[in-house]
Amino acid sequence: MLEDPLRLFDEGSSKVDDGGTLKDFIMQSTHVLSFKSFDKLGEISSSLQLVNVNDYGAQGDGKSDDTQAFKKAWEVACSSEGAVFVVAQKNYLLKPITFSGPCKSNIQVRIYGSLEASDKASDYSEDRAHWLMFDSVQKLSVKGGGSIDGNGNIWWQNSCKRNQNLPCKKAPTALTFYKCKDLTVEDLTIKNGQQMHVSFQNSENVLVSGLTVTAPEDSPNTDGIHITNTQNIQIQNTVTGTGDDCISIESGSMNVQVTNITCGPGHGISIGSLGSQESKDFVSGVMVNGAKFSGTTNGVRIKTWQGGSGSANNIKFQNIEMEKVTNPIIIDQNYCDQATPCKQQQSAVQIRNVLYENIRGTSASEVGVQFDCSEKFPCEGIVLQNIELQHESGGGAMASCNNVQLSYTGDVNPQCP
């Protein structure tokens, strides 16, 4: 088990003041997660069994259904004493498929070609929520420089977000990792997700690096990277531009480290939404260090529904560049994503101990810093350090602050009235 690298605060402390607590908060160093390394491509051990999907009947012509060939090849790889599952430089058409574990030993998946999703809704009759899924696989490495194409256009056309006369239905997540441990996902392009692109669920010890995630700006609900109930995950050197959150972090996620990422178009990085349908949700130990947002509808956002409970705490947003971003810094404890207005409620998810440090650039909205917190459960221990946000027209941006316990250090513009 990895040490907790993002234990930024004393869990018992509910406030950050201008004395030692604030200083300790800002100066707290964050250790880099260390992950077990997998064999590099050029160093594949001769003892590993090479399992090529072509040897099990895959055509790779972009027209033939290669799902059964992939299933057969996976069964062989999973039952081997260590295997390399090879997807050659061809175009493979696949229906929904689950690569199930646990496996006998380490698995290295090398995707050199392209995987393309079937766009027939009838192919997803048994499970509309997933296309490609790795379930309960330990010590898994997925890389290779290839592409994963969700072929999502038909799903977007039939989304209630595109046509309000249609009922809202689930669409598949392109690539899901569920209950995986000691996982590496590197150097892939994931595009045109039917809904979310890549989802990490109930997983532990995850390294994500060098991903390019793309979909049209108007594609609905196409989150780039989604994290839920996952601990010890590092995301680095990724480029994400979709129709929804570049990265979304939901309940049960702890020790999330995001470094050197580019985001846009999309909805920015979101912690939440939390507390929907009166749920009790927890997120802690999140650090975003080194990011560029361009033209996104939000920058760094924490969003919670009224009526929920739990907490989002120990969060750092550092060294971030904003370019024509709407809502560059935002906490919204009154989030309401529904057709009718949300009722006022007496409970809320507590937001505590959040540092915004070295964030600069331009805001597309007049309000560059917005803290809309709960009257009953105000935001506590919010720190702004070295912030410089201008309106894209050249004037100063404004700040709007409700029910927030706030501290400044260094030069901060804008500041709350």
Among all residues, which ones are annotated catalytic?
A: 267
Q: How far apart are CA 417 and CA 359, in angstroms?
A: 20
Instruction: Please choose, from the candidates 327, 259, 258, 337, the residue with its C-alpha nearest in 3D space to the C-alpha of residue 296.
Output: 327
- Cα within 13 Å of Cα(283), Cβ side: 28
End-to-end CA gap in the chain? 46
Q: How far apart are CA 125 and CA 96, in angstroms?
A: 10
Q: E strands within 194-328?
A: 198-201, 204-209, 212-214, 225-228, 231-241, 247-249, 253-263, 269-274, 280-294, 300-304, 309-325
- Residue 120 · residue 85 · CB < 8 Å: no
Q: How far apart are CA 364 and CA 323, in angstroms?
A: 8
154: its two tokens: 């038909």
In DSSP terms, which residues pair with 396 in a beta bridge? 390
Looking only at Cα atoms, what is the longest distance across the chain?
A: 68
50: its two tokens: 């090479």
What per-residue string of b and e applies to 386-411 under the rule 16 or more CB within 10 Å gives b? Answer: bbbbbbbeeeebbbebbebbbbbbee
388: its two tokens: 């410089």
What is the radius of gyration, based on Cα positions, of the chain?
A: 22
The kind and range of the H/E element at 157 are: helix 153-157
